[in-house]
Chains A and B, each alone.
Chain A
Amino acid sequence: MSRNKLFFFDTAKNKEYTFEDLFKGLNQLNSIPAYIHTYDYFEIFLLITASLIHQKHVTLLDFDFRESELLKLGLTGESLGNQISLSNKILVDKNNFYNLLRNSTGWELTLFTSGTTGQPKKISHSFENLTRMVKISDIKGNDVWGFAYNPTHIAGIQVFFQALLNLNSIINLFGQSKATVYSLIRKFNITNISATPTFYRMLVPHDENFNSVKKITSGGECFDQNILELLKKVFPGAKILNIYASTEAGSLFSSKSNTFTLNAKNKDFVKIRNGELLVHKSLLGFSDVLGIEDWYNTNDMVEIIHEDPLTFRFIYRKNEMINVGGNKINPNEVEEILNRYPGVNLSKVYGKKNSILGNILMADIKTDNENITEKELKSFLKDYLQPVKIPRVINLVNTIETTRSGKLKRI
Chain B
Amino acid sequence: MQQLMAHLLNHINYILGNNSSGEIAKLRTDMNLRDEVGLDSFDMAELTVRLEMEYGIDIFEGGVVYTVGEILRKLEKENVKE
Q: Chain A interface (Cβ within 8 Å of chain B)?
A: 175, 177-179, 198, 201-202, 204-205, 325, 352, 354-357, 360, 362, 374-375, 378, 382, 388, 392-393
- Asked if B49 and A198 sit within 8 Å, CB to CB, the answer is no
Complex CA gap A299/B76 in Å reads 43
A sample of 28 cross-chain residue pairs with beta-carbon separation below 8 angstroms, ordered by A number, consists of A178-B35, A179-B34, A179-B35, A201-B64, A202-B64, A205-B64, A325-B42, A325-B45, A352-B49, A354-B60, A355-B48, A355-B61, A356-B41, A357-B41, A357-B42, A357-B45, A360-B42, A360-B45, A360-B46, A362-B49, A374-B18, A375-B18, A382-B20, A388-B42, A392-B46, A393-B46, A393-B49, A393-B53
- Asked if B60 and A356 sit within 8 Å, CB to CB, the answer is yes
- B63-77 with Cβ < 8 A to chain A: 63-64
Checking A175, A177, A198 against B35 with a beta-carbon cut-off of 8 angstroms, the contacting residue is A177
Q: Report chain B residues within 8 Å CB of A175.
A: 40
- Asked if A325 and B49 sit within 8 Å, CB to CB, the answer is no
Query: How would residues 17 to 30 of chain B score, 1 for a CB under 8 Å from any chain A CB and 0 otherwise?
Result: 11110000000000
A-B contact number at CB 8 A: 57
Closest CB in chain A relative to B19 CB, distance in Å: 7
- Asked if B63 and A205 sit within 8 Å, CB to CB, the answer is yes
Closest CB in chain B relative to A179 CB, distance in Å: 6
Closest CB in chain B relative to A192 CB, distance in Å: 22
Closest A residue to B59 by beta carbon equals: A355
How many of chain B's residues have a CB under 8 angstroms from any CB in A? Answer: 21
- Asked if B46 and A202 sit within 8 Å, CB to CB, the answer is no
Q: Report chain A residues within 8 Å CB of B46.
A: 360, 392-393
Closest B residue to A357 by beta carbon equals: B45
Query: How would residues 37 to 57 of chain B score, 1 for a CB under 8 Å from any chain A CB and 0 otherwise?
Result: 000111011101110010000
Complex CA gap A111/B52 in Å reads 38
- Asked if A355 and B58 sit within 8 Å, CB to CB, the answer is yes
Checking A178, A374, A378, A392 against B45 with a beta-carbon cut-off of 8 angstroms, the contacting residue is A392
Do A356 and B18 contact each other (CB < 8 Å), given the known contacts A177-B35, A392-B45?
Answer: no
Complex CA gap A354/B46 in Å reads 9
Q: Report chain A residues within 8 Å CB of B18.
A: 374-375, 378
- Asked if A392 and B49 sit within 8 Å, CB to CB, the answer is yes
Q: Report chain A residues within 8 Å CB of B40.
A: 175
Complex CA gap A179/B49 in Å reads 25
Q: A356-B64, A382-B20, A393-B49 are in contact. List 13 more A-B contacts (CB 8 A).
A: A178-B34, A178-B35, A201-B64, A202-B41, A202-B64, A355-B64, A356-B45, A356-B48, A360-B45, A360-B48, A375-B17, A375-B18, A393-B53
Closest CB in chain B relative to A177 CB, distance in Å: 5
Q: Report chain B residues within 8 Å CB of A374.
A: 18
Closest CB in chain A relative to B31 CB, distance in Å: 13
Checking A177, A201, A360, A388 against B49 with a beta-carbon cut-off of 8 angstroms, the contacting residue is A360
Of the listed residues A178, A355, A374, the one surrounded by the most CB atoms of chain B closer than 10 A to its CB is A355
Closest CB in chain A relative to B13 CB, distance in Å: 12
- Asked if A354 and B49 sit within 8 Å, CB to CB, the answer is yes
Closest B residue to A201 by beta carbon equals: B64
Complex CA gap A360/B58 in Å reads 13
Q: Report chain A residues within 8 Å CB of B63.
A: 205
List the 4 shortest-distance A-B pairs measured between CB atoms, nearest first: A355-B60, A392-B46, A356-B45, A357-B45
Closest CB in chain B relative to A318 CB, distance in Å: 25
- Asked if B50 and A354 sit within 8 Å, CB to CB, the answer is no
Q: Report chain A residues within 8 Å CB of B53.
A: 393
Complex CA gap A354/B42 in Å reads 10
- Asked if A177 and B34 sit within 8 Å, CB to CB, the answer is yes
Q: Report chain B residues within 8 Å CB of A325.
A: 41-42, 45
Q: Report chain B residues within 8 Å CB of A392.
A: 42, 45-46, 49
Q: Report chain A residues within 8 Å CB of B48.
A: 354-356, 360
Complex CA gap A355/B42 in Å reads 11
Checking B41, B45, B60, B64 against A204 with a beta-carbon cut-off of 8 angstroms, the contacting residue is B64
Q: Report chain A residues within 8 Å CB of B19.
A: 378
Complex CA gap A392/B53 in Å reads 13
Complex CA gap A177/B34 in Å reads 7
Complex CA gap A355/B17 in Å reads 23
Q: Report chain B residues within 8 Å CB of A352.
A: 49
- Asked if B64 and A393 sit within 8 Å, CB to CB, the answer is no
Closest B residue to A373 by beta carbon equals: B18
Q: Report chain B residues within 8 Å CB of A382.
A: 20
